């Protein structure tokens, strides 16, 4: 991974998530620091595919140190933790991505819909699915149901099957 001198000295500006209207729906706009690191995520996917889990984790942690609102890095770390059966750590990473996204939505007045079909929203929905899975698996089903009530109106089509994870197919 290529790192500039400015990045290695911690000079990256703090940037946060936002949401913007795209046609008749809303999309999460990821901070510039995350958009600039698309290649890094691709390299990390290659590392994971070749079994270099520890190196991939180190790189993801570095990415988050430079860009704390990098949802995809949180999702990747959550997925790695789930693979290791560390649901507590997975819940932490998925939950952080979920919280960051909700903050951006709240700052924009809680708009909707926020469909998974828009590229900028994918990491949010993947984090939400992982979070709800972890909550259900660790006996926090009421918390999962509360989160699902918040999520479901944002994309009623539920393309990731989150309702099944929560244990209810009832659309409220």
Mean pLDDT value of segment 31-60? 93
Q: Is residue 7 part of a domain?
A: no
Q: Is residue 34 part of a domain?
A: yes
Q: Is residue 6 part of a domain?
A: no
Q: Is residue 85 part of a domain?
A: yes
Residues 90-103 have pLDDT tens digits of 999 999 999 999 99
- Dihedral (CA of 165, 169, 171, 172) sign: negative
**CA dist 168 to 144, 152, 163, 171, Å?**
11, 12, 5, 8
Mean pLDDT value of segment 7-11? 37
Using the predicted structure, report yes or no on whether residue 106 has a pLDDT greater than 50. yes
Across-strand partners of 33? Answer: none
Mean pLDDT value of segment 30-46? 92
The rounded mean pLDDT for the chain is: 89
Q: Is residue 171 part of a domain?
A: no
Q: What is the pLDDT of residue 38?
A: 86
Residues 52-71 have pLDDT tens digits of 999 999 999 999 999 999 99
**Encoding tokens for residue 111?**
């708009």
3-class DSSP state of 87: helix
Q: Is residue 2 part of a domain?
A: no
How many structural domains does the chain have?
Answer: 1
Q: Is residue 1 part of a domain?
A: no
Q: Is residue 78 part of a domain?
A: yes
Looking at the chain, the whole-number percentage of residues with pLDDT higher than 70 is 89
> Which residues 6+ apart lie within 8 Å of 28 measured at CB?
17, 18, 19, 71, 101, 104, 114, 120, 121, 123, 124
pTM to 2 decimal places: 0.87
Question: Residue 63 is part of which domain span?
Answer: 14-166
Using the predicted structure, report yes or no on whether residue 7 has a pLDDT greater than 50. no
Q: What is the pLDDT of residue 168?
A: 58
- Dihedral (CA of 56, 34, 119, 112) sign: positive
Domain of 57: which CATH number?
Answer: 1.25.40.10
Place of tokens 């990821």: 30
């Amino acid at each position: 991974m290529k790192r500039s001198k400015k990045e290695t000295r911690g000079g990256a500006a703090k940037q946060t998530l936002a949401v913007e209207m795209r046609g008749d729906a809303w999309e999460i706009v990821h901070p510039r620091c995350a958009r600039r690191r698309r290649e890094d995520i691709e390299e990390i996917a290659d590392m994971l595919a070749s079994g270099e889990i520890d190196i991939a984790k180190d790189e993801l942690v570095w990415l988050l140190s430079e860009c704390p609102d990098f949802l995809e890095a949180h999702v990747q770390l959550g997925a790695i933790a789930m693979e290791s059966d560390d649901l507590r750590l997975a819940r932490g990473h998925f939950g952080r991505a979920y919280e960051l996204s909700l903050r951006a939505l709240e700052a924009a007045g809680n708009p909707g819909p926020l469909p998974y079909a828009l590229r900028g929203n994918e990491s949010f929905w993947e984090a939400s699915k992982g979070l709800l899975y972890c909550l259900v698996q660790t006996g926090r089903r009421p918390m999962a149901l509360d989160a699902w009530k918040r999520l479901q109106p944002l994309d009623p089509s539920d393309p990731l099957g989150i309702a099944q994870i929560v244990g209810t197919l009832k659309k409220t």
